Chain A
């Protein structure tokens, strides 16, 4: 029974979130994000400020992103207990969750490119900066279907052997809460811009809460799996 490795992978989730916040917020200082309204010169000034700390913080962000992989894997492992051998939902969650890793890493490298030669033409720095922020905040589409896949499997788990039913509803709510992210592509300021209360702060909070709720559910499921195995082992 590999509940130990499952538990280890599950713990990677909260650890990843903490690491992400340390890297993105405390080291790189990129929270709150610069405004889409900022001119090229203003953006250049931001990237000239504590450049090395920003470069370092973003590397930490990338490690945190990669660390979500085992967490995603442990979710699918538990989902497979519900689905059985033929498990499209588990594979969907796994695939989309792994794509999510790249959605940390690629934008972070766009930032690194902007930071790499801060004396580039300001319009180039602005372009690289936009290339980083738009997908970083706005690429919710894989997560949307990832959450729906988890929800679907929760609703399949009629005896609540693995996940509680309400977790399905929770995942549907999280998926819908990400949808307003569409708006960041249209607006340069206000609550629906990439630094706005509705399209940055709300999804960031929801994202963080999701990690901790899923971790709680995973832990419960893994412990239940271990308990199920005990009578069989005793035979």
Chain B
């Protein structure tokens, strides 16, 4: 490896620059059939929420005040941090690092567990103040949207666990790397969807 190439690598976070940009599809085709499909379904959910919000603006505004934004912020920060860990783990695996990817993925899982704890604390708080999913439409949307997202988060934790198992192998085959990247992208999707939910449910008023 020439020194110039090394310097270029370091500048660009490890991706070597060649004359034609070498593009790489993370995961495989099916990964994106799934992820884009799921993102589309969530886009429908976002639109549904905004539509029904406009039918009862006062109710939604009033009920939103009972939410504690700190729960939302903490959840966002946890997921963003976990995503940083996951993408760094992917890059570490590409570099052939042995223990680091496993540790990073472990941190990501801990963030996910933190999100789960936070979620139960938040939901528990709302329920103990008699704000149930069938109290009014705002709470119905709140619990359903965060519930569907939480279901995806649990799936994501399962995927991260599978990635942890994979990361312990000394080296990954091409197919295994494809699954590794695809699984990482699923986790980033969970993060991405929460970013929008946080904005719509907690902040938009």
Contact between A and B in the complex (any CB pair below 8 Å): yes
Interface residues of A (CB under 8 A from B): 158, 164-170, 172-173, 176-177, 179-180, 183, 186-187, 190-192, 197-198, 202
Asked whether A172 and B34 contact (CB < 8 A) given A187-B140, A190-B140, the answer is: yes
* Residues on B with beta carbons closer than 8 Å to the beta carbon of A168: 30
* Residues on B with beta carbons closer than 8 Å to the beta carbon of A190: 52, 137, 140
Scan B131-156; emit 1 where CB is below 8 A from any A CB, else 0. 00110010010001000100100000
A165 B28 Cβ-Cβ under 8 A: yes
- Pick from A165, A166, A172, A191: contact of B48, CB under 8 Å: A191
CB nearest neighbor in A for B49: A191
B34 A169 Cβ-Cβ under 8 A: yes
- Rounded to whole angstroms, the CA-CA distance of A190 and B51 in the bound complex is 11
- Rounded to whole angstroms, the CA-CA distance of A207 and B148 in the bound complex is 20
- Rounded to whole angstroms, the CA-CA distance of A166 and B30 in the bound complex is 4
9 closest Cβ contacts across the A-B interface? A169-B30, A166-B30, A169-B34, A173-B37, A166-B29, A173-B34, A191-B48, A169-B33, A166-B33
B134 A173 Cβ-Cβ under 8 A: no
Q: A170-B33, A192-B144 are in contact. List 6 more A-B contacts (CB 8 A).
A: A158-B175, A169-B33, A190-B140, A191-B48, A198-B45, A202-B41
- Chain B interface bracket (under 10, 10 to 19, 20 to 34, 35 or more): 20 to 34
Task: Report A150 CB to chain B, min CB distance, Å.
Answer: 13
CB nearest neighbor in B for A187: B140
- Rounded to whole angstroms, the CA-CA distance of A202 and B37 in the bound complex is 12
Task: Report B23 CB to chain A, min CB distance, Å.
Answer: 19
- Rounded to whole angstroms, the CA-CA distance of A170 and B34 in the bound complex is 6
- Rounded to whole angstroms, the CA-CA distance of A1 and B38 in the bound complex is 39
B204 at the interface (CB under 8 A from A): no
- Rounded to whole angstroms, the CA-CA distance of A177 and B41 in the bound complex is 8
B31 at the interface (CB under 8 A from A): yes
> Can you list 22 A-B contacts with CB-CB less than 8 angstroms, sorted by A residue number?
A158-B175, A165-B29, A165-B30, A166-B28, A166-B30, A168-B30, A170-B30, A172-B34, A173-B37, A176-B38, A177-B37, A177-B41, A180-B148, A183-B144, A186-B134, A190-B52, A191-B52, A192-B140, A198-B44, A198-B45, A198-B48, A202-B44
- Rounded to whole angstroms, the CA-CA distance of A168 and B38 in the bound complex is 14
Which chain B residues numbered 165 to 180 have a C-beta less than 8 Å away from chain A? Answer: 175
Choose among B30, B44, B137 the residue with the greatest number of A CB atoms under 10 Å from its CB.
B30
Task: Report B11 CB to chain A, min CB distance, Å.
Answer: 35
Scan B41-76; emit 1 where CB is below 8 A from any A CB, else 0. 100110010001000000000000000000000000
* Residues on B with beta carbons closer than 8 Å to the beta carbon of A202: 41, 44
* Residues on B with beta carbons closer than 8 Å to the beta carbon of A164: 30
* Residues on B with beta carbons closer than 8 Å to the beta carbon of A170: 30, 33-34, 37
- Rounded to whole angstroms, the CA-CA distance of A187 and B29 in the bound complex is 37
A173 B52 Cβ-Cβ under 8 A: no
- Rounded to whole angstroms, the CA-CA distance of A45 and B30 in the bound complex is 47
- Pick from A173, A186, A198: contact of B33, CB under 8 Å: A173
Task: Report A174 CB to chain B, min CB distance, Å.
Answer: 9
- Rounded to whole angstroms, the CA-CA distance of A91 and B29 in the bound complex is 28
* Residues on A with beta carbons closer than 8 Å to the beta carbon of B175: 158
B48 A173 Cβ-Cβ under 8 A: no
- Rounded to whole angstroms, the CA-CA distance of A197 and B28 in the bound complex is 31
CB nearest neighbor in A for B34: A169
- Rounded to whole angstroms, the CA-CA distance of A197 and B44 in the bound complex is 9
Which chain B residues numbered 4 to 51 have a C-beta less than 8 Å away from chain A? Answer: 28-31, 33-34, 37-38, 41, 44-45, 48
* Residues on B with beta carbons closer than 8 Å to the beta carbon of A197: 44, 48
